[in-house]
Amino acid sequence: MAMGHLLRSGTSLLAIALACGVARGQSSQTRPPTPNKATVSGDSSRESLSQNALDDLESCRVHRVTSLPGSHKYASDFIETIATDPATDDSDVMWGLTADLSTDVPWHDRALYISKSSNGGETWTQVARMDSRYFDAEIGEGLRNGFLVAPGGSHFVITTQKGAFQVFPQVGTGNAVIRPIEGPRVPDTPPKLSVTKKPGEPIRANAVEMTRDGKRLFIGYGYFDLDPHIFSYHVERDGSWAQDKTIEGLPSEMDILSMQFDDRKRTDPGFLYVGTGDQAYILNMHTMGWARVDGVGPDSAIHGMSAVNGLHIAACWGVYNPVGPGMVRRNTTAHFLLHPTSDEAGPNLRAYGIEVDPQSPNREVVTSITGVYVSEDSGDTWRRLNDLPDGEYRTAHFDSDGTVLVSGMPGTFLVTPYSDACAPQLKRRESAVPTRKAARTR
């Protein structure tokens, strides 16, 4: 969220501090240089990656992904969030949400794009475009948009400043049919905090989660108004989402930043983890009662979560690993590199996302304000991927062969951090010797 926008809207500095986020740039600044400038081919087969990609990964170089749609201006190649089909376990097929909002792009051309990759993120094809009628490029869009895929890729759900929407792709066109999902609106009575919207306008939708069978949907609402809500929905025969009820009793006044089922393979998950601007909570899906995740420090904005092999948390000032059901422990021994220009280290990492390899749960990737970090011992020790361009990273995804897709302000890249052949080391920043990975075989 741009600080200027927050201050103009009357948001308190306390709320800003608890949110602990850094804005997506709306400027036209130049993209940082990349270690590899090779383009990729349009081949969509996982078995036949482009020769450039194979050469890069096998020689331990970072491979830059260049086929995302849009202007390719500042941050338009940043995948805000990645989603996979909940009905399958094919990790090489995925969809990504990008936002083309650079000030170098005319207003009428600014858009959100949905793209699909069938080869682990090397090449992408646009499947849908949302124009400025459905989002607000001036207030934090392209930073915390929720995004998920319905089973079979039949449609998508996107959350923006203007609410939640169903997006139905039109085959072969790159266009889409877009339907609003009913949600809360700004009341006539004054909110707890001053907001930029008028009474009757949609309240911002944020985190979103869907059951594996595509029949139940949960959406978080609220935008620095100290009045967050979670609504539940069920799917109608025509594929639209009908509101069931508001989930009562959320024990927080802070914005909802993340949500995750305890077991995404179940059609009837037992628990829903909810991360807010100050804490992590558990909703019992059967009793609808709330509890606090044990072990999370105070005022910890929960930016990202993974429930693979237990609850993992990427928080405002640290990374948490599971120690039991509903229990986590902050890693205070990890030596994260806090400042890219120095070797200052400590556990106070401002983390935005955490991903765990479903096939090898000892492998974790954290994306953060200072780069990308990987662990291969369940989060006990970490190393920074220093060959990536410096900058803020937000998303990561494990492919079936251990290759990792990472994305942030500098762009989107394929890396192989767990290759024995490359044996990456955490090196001092002044070292000019590159370290990277070769393609890993299981």
User: What are the chain's domains?
Assistant: 3-40+80-332 (2.130.10)
- Structural tokens at position 197: 């919207």
Residues contacting residue 392 through CB under 8 Å, at least 6 positions apart: 22, 352, 368, 369, 370, 408, 409
- H or E element that contains 415: strand 411-415
Tell me how far apart the alpha carbons of residues 315 and 351 are, in angstroms, rounded to a whole number.
5
Residue pLDDT tens, the chain, 442 long? 333 333 223 333 334 344 454 333 333 333 333 333 333 333 334 455 777 776 767 667 799 999 999 999 989 999 999 999 998 888 999 999 999 988 899 888 899 999 999 999 999 999 999 998 999 877 667 678 999 999 999 999 999 999 999 999 988 776 799 999 999 998 888 766 666 778 889 999 999 999 999 999 999 999 888 899 999 999 999 889 999 989 999 999 999 999 999 998 888 999 999 999 999 999 999 999 999 999 999 888 999 999 999 999 999 889 999 999 899 999 988 877 665 555 556 778 899 999 999 999 999 999 999 999 999 999 988 989 988 999 999 999 999 988 999 999 999 999 999 987 765 444 433 333 333 333 333 3
Q: What is the 3-state secondary structure (H, E, C) of 302-359?
A: EEEEECCCCCEEEECCEEEEEEECCEEEECCCCCEECCCCCCCEECCCCEEEEEECCC
